Amino acid sequence: MHRYFVYDVFTETRFGGNQLAVFPEAESIPEAELQSIAAEFNFSEVTFVYPPENRDHTARLRIFTPTMEVPFAGHPTIGSAKALAELGHGPEMVLELGIGPLPCTAGPHGARFTTSAPLERLANPDPALVARALGLAVDQIDQSAHAPTLASVGLPFTLTALKTRADLAACQTDMAAFRDGAKAHPEGLDFAQFAYIREGDTIHARMFAPLDNIPEDPATGSACAALAAFLCDLDGAPLSVTVHQGEDMGRSSLIHLTANGERVTVAGQAVRVMEGSLL
């Protein structure tokens, strides 16, 4: 049997935020079963924790969505750091991910990680295609500061500003458009869409990745990290914002972001909801 914990991440209360299953002793799980286990949970991600390759580090993480392994994701990093802290590690730790070692801090008041992965601007998808994927009209996209941009600091997302909170609430995914987008932009993997509105230091956002069996994600730390790096670069100034995500699906999340140059810090709380054993 293999024990696991389930956390709600980027929330201070149970049944909010983004669900995550953490297997803290994954080295005895057969490699061939990892993807099937992630699909069985059907959360946005499941993390498998291994001993570190570098003895000076805390642990090595492998992160799986329902359909693939990914090199980096935000809420799995926060949730796994919180789980490791509750198992006696930290508060300072270094986690090995597919994008390299990531310094983290975790304790009773939450967790945070800092990435220095360079911002990659991969493409500018056609606004009409993005609008179709989101079930919106093109004139609901706010292109005054930037056009829809496929960007990454480890995992790619199309970052799209919308004009109003009502426009954000109106998003409804079009699977055919997502398939067209993934075909047109294979560098974007599943053409995941991160739509947002910005009101000063507050951002409201939604993320959709239906081709990865994630109709909507209640909290997406990797997309938030990409957005923070992108906005910091766009503004040419340090950034400090709070992202509200998951509200339109009844799983409110709070994600705190700071960015300065190529350094982005993502912070939030996580609470353990369940634990059990995989037979």
pLDDT at 259: 97
**Alpha helix positions (H), 56-113:** 74-86
Give dist(CA 192, CA 216) in Å, integer: 10
Share above pLDDT 90 across residues of the chain, in percent, rounded to a whole number: 97
pLDDT in tens, 94-131: 999 999 999 999 999 999 999 999 999 999 999 999 99
Are 259 and 231 a contacting pair, CB within 8 Å?
yes
What pTM, to 2 d.p., does this model score? 0.93
Give dist(CA 124, CA 148) in Å, integer: 6
pLDDT greater than 90 at residue 157 = yes
Same fold, 2-114+267-278 and 120-261: yes
Give the confidence band of 262 by pLDDT, cuts at 50, 70, 90: confident
Q: Which residues contact 206 (CB under 8 A, 6 or more apart)?
A: 168, 171, 194, 195, 196, 216, 245, 248
Q: What average pLDDT does this structure show over 8-27?
A: 97
pLDDT in tens, 206-225: 999 999 999 999 999 999 99
Fold of 2-114+267-278: Diaminopimelate Epimerase; Chain A, domain 1 (3.10.310)
Q: Where are the domains of the chain?
A: 2-114+267-278, 120-261
Give the confidence band of 90 by pLDDT, cuts at 50, 70, 90: confident
Angle, helices 127-134/175-184, rounded to nearest 10 degrees: 150
Question: Which residues have a catalytic role annotated?
Answer: 45
Q: Which CATH class is domain 120-261?
A: alpha beta
Q: What average pLDDT does this structure show over 66-95?
A: 96
